[in-house]
Structure 1
Amino acid sequence: MLHAVQPGDGGVARVVTDLVRAQLATGLRVAVACPPGTELAAAVRDEGADAYDWRAGREPGPGLFHETRDLARLIRAVRPALVHAHSAKAGLCARLALRGRIPTVYQPHAWSFEAVEGTTAALARRWERAAARWTARVVCVSEAERRTGEAAGVRAPWSVIHNGVDTARFTPAPGTVPFPAPAGEPAGPAGSHGPVVVCVGRLCRQKGQDVLLAAWPEVVARVPGARLVLVGDGPDAERLRAAAGDAVTFAGAVPDTAPWYRAADVVVLPSRWEGMALAPLEAMASGRPVVVGDVDGARESLPPGHEELCLVPPGDPAALAAALGRLLARPELRHSLGREAREHVLSRFDVRRTGAAVAELYRELAGVRCTEHREPIAQ
Structure 2
Amino acid sequence: MHPSPSDSRPRVLHLTQPVDGGAARVVTDLARAQLAAGLAVTVVCPDGELTTRLRPLGADVRHWNATRSPGPSLVREVRHLVRVIDEVRPHLVHAHSAKAGLAGRLAVRGRIPTVFQPHAWSFEAVGGATSALALAWERWGARWASRMVCVSEAERTTGVRAGISGRWSVIPNGVDAQRFHPAPAGAVRAGLTPLRKVGPDAPLVVCVGRLCRQKGQDVLLTAWSSVARRVPGARLVLVGDGPDRDRLRAHAPGSVLFAGAVADAVPWYQAADLVVLPSRWEGMALAPLEAMACGRPVVVTDVDGARESLPPALAARCVVPPENPAVLARAVTELLLDPPLRESLGHQGRRYVLSSHDVRHTAEAVADVYRDLISLRPAPRFAPPEHRESIHS
Instruction: Identify whether the pair has TM-score above 0.5, normalized to the shorter chain.
Output: yes
Closer, same or farther: CA 300–368 of 1 in aligned 2, 3 Å:
farther
Q: Aligned partners of 1:344, 1:314: CA distance in 2, in Å?
A: 24
CA distance in 2, matches of 1:245, 1:223: 15
**2:237 aligned with 1:223:** no
Q: Which residue of 1 aligns with 2:187?
A: 177
**Matching residue of 2:30:** 19
Q: How big is the shift at 1:307?
A: 2.0
Tell me how far 1:174 sits from its aligned partner.
Answer: 3.7
CA-to-partner distance for each residue in 1:267-315, whole Å, 9 max, x for gaps? 0000000000000000000000000010000000010122232111111
Does structure 1 conserve the Cα–Cα contact (< 8 Å) formed by 2:239 and 2:260? yes
The answer on 1:344 being equivalent to 2:355 is no
Query: Secondary structure, in 3 states, of the residue corresponding to 1:251?
Result: strand
Alpha-carbon distance, 1:78 to partner: 0.7
What is the Cα deviation at residue 250 of structure 1? 0.3
CA distance in 2, matches of 1:175, 1:145: 34
1:211 is matched with 219
2:194, 2:259 within 8 Å by CA — same for their partners in 1? Answer: no
Given that 2:301 and 2:321 are in contact with CA atoms closer than 8 Å, whether structure 1 keeps it comes out as yes
- Equivalent AA in structure 2 for residue 309 of structure 1: R
* Among candidates 133, 140, 154, match of residue 130 of structure 1: 140
Q: Distance in 1 between matches of 2:348 and 2:376?
A: 37
Q: Following the alignment from structure 2 to structure 1, what is the Cα–Cα distance between the partners of residues 283 and 149?
A: 11
Q: Which runs of 5+ in 1 are unaligned?
A: 370-379
Aligned to 2:124: 114
Partner of 1:254: 262
For 1:367 and 1:19, the matched residues in 2 are separated by 20
Aligned to 2:41: 30
Equivalent pairs, count: 366
Residues 234-273 of structure 1 mapped to structure 2, 5 A cutoff = 234-273=242-281
Question: Which string of whole-angstrom CA distances, capped at 9 and with x for unpartnered residues, describes residues 211-266 of structure 1?
Answer: 00000010011111100000000000011011101001100011110000000000
Structure 1: how far apart are the matches of 2:305 and 2:21? 17
> After the TM superposition, which residues 91-106 of structure 1 pair with which residues of structure 2 at under 5 Å, given as runs?
91-106=101-116
| 1:192 Cα deviation from its structure 2 partner | 2.6
Q: SS in structure 2 opposite 1:30?
A: strand
Query: What's the RMSD between the two structures over aligned residues?
Result: 1.5
Specify the code of the residue in structure 2 equivalent to 1:288: R
1:10 aligns with 21
Match of 1:289 in 2: 297
Q: In structure 2, the residue corresponding to 1:57 is in which secondary structure?
A: coil
Q: Distance in 1 between matches of 2:217 and 2:121?
A: 20
Residue 85 of structure 1: SS of its match in structure 2?
Answer: strand
Matched AA of 1:6: Q
Cα separation, 1, equivalents of 2:71 and 2:339: 49
The one-letter code sitting in structure 2 at the alignment partner of 1:66 is R
Q: Secondary structure at the match of 2:264?
A: coil
Q: Report the Cα distance in structure 2 between the residues aligned to 1:229 and 1:179, rounded to whole angstroms.
A: 12
Alignment-mate amino acid for residue 280 of structure 1:
P
Does the CA-based 8 Å contact 2:186-2:200 persist in structure 1?
Answer: no
Q: Please say if 1:88 is aligned against 2:87.
A: no
2:14 is paired with a residue whose SS is strand
Q: Percent identity among equivalent residues?
A: 65
Give the secondary structure class of the aligned counterpart of 1:305: helix
Question: Displacement, 1:186?
Answer: 6.7
Check whether the contact 2:313–2:345 (CA below 8 A) recurs between aligned residues.
no
Residue number in structure 2 paired with 1:377: none
Q: Distance in 2 between matches of 1:213 and 1:187?
A: 19
The alignment partner of 2:69 has SS state of: coil
What pairs up with 1:323-334 in 2 under 5 angstroms? 323-334=331-342
Match 2:75 to one of 61, 65, 79: 65
**Pairwise CA distance, 1:368:** 6.2
Pair member with larger Rg: 2
Within 2, Cα distance between the matches of 1:193 and 1:175? 9
Look up the match of 1:144.
154
Q: What's the CA shift for 1:190?
A: 9.0
Read off the aligned partner of 1:126 and give its amino acid letter.
A
Contact 1:13 1:39 in 2 (8 A): no
Is 1:311 aligned to 2:319, yes or no?
Answer: yes
Letter in 1 for 2:32: R
Over residues 188-227 of structure 1, what are the superposed CA-to-partner deviations in whole Å (9 max), with x where a residue is unaligned? 3895341100000000000000000000010011111100
The correspondence for 2:307, drawn from 290, 299, 305, is: 299
Amino acid at match of 1:329: L
Residues 107 and 240 of structure 1: is their aligned pair in 2 closer, same or farther, counting only changes over 3 Å? same
Letter in 2 for 1:77: E
What is residue 384 of structure 2 aligned with on the other side?
none
TM-score (norm 2): 0.91
Separation in structure 2 between the aligned mates of residue 202 and residue 176 of structure 1, nearest angstrom: 26
The runs of at least 4 consecutive aligned structure 1 residues that moved more than 4 Å come to none
Equivalent residue of 2:312, what SS?
coil
Give distance in 2, aligned partners of 1:238 and 1:191: 26
The alpha-carbon deviation at position 181 of structure 1 amounts to: 6.8
In the alignment, residue 136 of structure 1 is paired with which amino acid? S
Which digits, 9 at most, give the CA deviation of each residue in 1:66-113, with x for residues without a partner? 011111111111100000000000000011111100000000000000
